[in-house]
Amino acid sequence: MAGQLIVSVSGVSDRTLTEVDAFCELLDARGVPASFLVAPRIKGGYRLDSDAPTVEWLADRRERGDAIVLHGFDEAATKKRRGEFATLPAHEANLRLMAADRVLEHLGLRTRLFAAPGWTVSQGTVTALPRNGFRLLAGLSGITDLARPDFGEPVAIYQHEVTMFWACGVTPQAVALAARPDLMITHEPGIMFLTDLPRDQDIRSEI
């Protein structure tokens, strides 16, 4: 199966719109789709909600089949040489994602796609993304479908709920497949209890 070329474009604003539009015309002529990495606020005091021409242009490009990708919330509020979502705990990532999502929804540019600035995300951010309805995460290692977990069925996570890691029986199975140890002690499938008693001994009376 042949791969498809998709070009991602960032830094779209009133200052770059003419050049970006000309570049996209070249992509259109070659049948290459684009994704636009958009953030409500970037350095230099720029705010997307004060840039009506860019908002209108982005909305038109999406109508024509291109994608809008949330690319952070407030670049100016981050420390130097550190991506905005690189080290955030889930609570802080959740607040930033909610704020960015509301801005894009207000502008008619709401998206379910996310790519962090610097392409680096913390585990807290990964936890917070599906809470806010995001379905795809683009990072350094590839694209993650947040609606398709590695095991089991996707679970809806609501605003008042807090996700937690549960080390069920699938976890040691994944570890064993990846590490391939010579010896590993775990539980029998469907029996979440580990003991040194023989398998054929009825342990119910021992508990």
Question: Which domain covers residue 16, as residue numbers?
Answer: 7-164
Number of DSSP helices (H) and strands (E) in the chain, helices first: 5, 8
Q: Residue 184's pLDDT is what?
A: 79
Q: Take residue 34 and report the two structure tokens written for it.
A: 């684009």
Same domain, 107 and 202: no
Amino acid (1-letter code) at residue 197: L
How does pLDDT run across 120-147, given as a tens digit for each residue? 888 889 888 988 889 899 888 788 888 7
Residue 80 CB burial class (10 angstroms; 0-12, 13-18, ≥19) = exposed
Same domain, 107 and 192: no
Q: What's the pLDDT band for 98 if we cut at 50, 70, 90?
A: very high
Between CA 43 and CA 41 the distance in angstroms is: 7
How does pLDDT run across 6-44, given as a tens digit for each residue? 799 999 999 999 999 999 999 999 999 999 999 999 888
Please check whether residue 111 is in contact with residue 68, taking contact to mean a CB–CB distance below 8 angstroms: yes
Please check whether residue 125 is in contact with residue 93, taking contact to mean a CB–CB distance below 8 angstroms: yes
CATH code for position 46:
3.20.20.370
